[in-house]
Structure 1
Amino acid sequence: MKLSKSFNSAFRKFAYFLSSGNHHNLKGIDYLSLYGEEPSAIEQTYVIFINVLELDDAGTVLNAEYAEKRATDYLREYCDGNFNVEPPYEDWEVILH
């Protein structure tokens, strides 16, 4: 089975805005240098996005904005020691498969 157009669209949008430095949840956070210097932080951001993303039986994404928020909150906390993710991540959100 192929990934749905809905999933493809949600992932493409997230990847574009994250890698362009224009993600609305990360305004004022200098994170673009992490792409070359600390790629594991970027990897974990994508992992959280994918783990949190929910699809219905037809493959339609149900919670893209929430998945983006959980993922970008990780990156914000990584870059800004004064920011705390709420609620804290559950194991299933951050596990690398």
Structure 2
Amino acid sequence: MPRLSEDVRASLRLFAFYLANGTIDMELLEDIDYRPALMEFGSPLEMVFTIFTNVLEVDENGMVTNEGDAQRRAAQWIRHHCDPSYEVDPPFQPWETELIGP
């Protein structure tokens, strides 16, 4: 069974680090401590990783081609979750928020 490439694993690791550190997309989330809101029941955190991994693109060599875009879309969801008046632009497409698996 193929494994995720080192580049994909590094992207996921860095995303998790920035998320836990409170430093994802500092421009968009500068004054928002989103961490408590994501840890309440688990589902918000699940959606953050769902969006990040659904948006993440990998080329034929297993190299991530859009890490910044994937982080930005996840940050937009976090911002909207913490501040419902924030309008996500462009709006999320169903494939971006589709939960995969059990």
What is aligned with 2:75?
72
Q: Which amino acid aligns with 2:64?
A: V
What is aligned with 2:59?
56
Structure 2 runs not aligned, ≥5 long: none
Change (3 A) 1:41 1:52: same
Structure 1 runs not aligned, ≥5 long: none
- Whether 2:53 is the aligned partner of 1:83: answer no
- The separation in 1 between residues aligned to 2:96 and 2:35, in whole angstroms, is 23
Q: Percent identity?
A: 37
Runs of 4+ more than 4 Å apart: none
CA RMSD between the two structures: 1.1
The Cα of 1:38 is off from its aligned counterpart by 3.2
What is aligned with 2:6?
5
The Cα of 1:35 is off from its aligned counterpart by 4.0
Does structure 1 retain, via aligned residues, the 8 Å contact 2:80–2:86?
Answer: yes
The Cα of 1:36 is off from its aligned counterpart by 3.1
The Cα of 1:20 is off from its aligned counterpart by 1.2
What is aligned with 2:40?
37
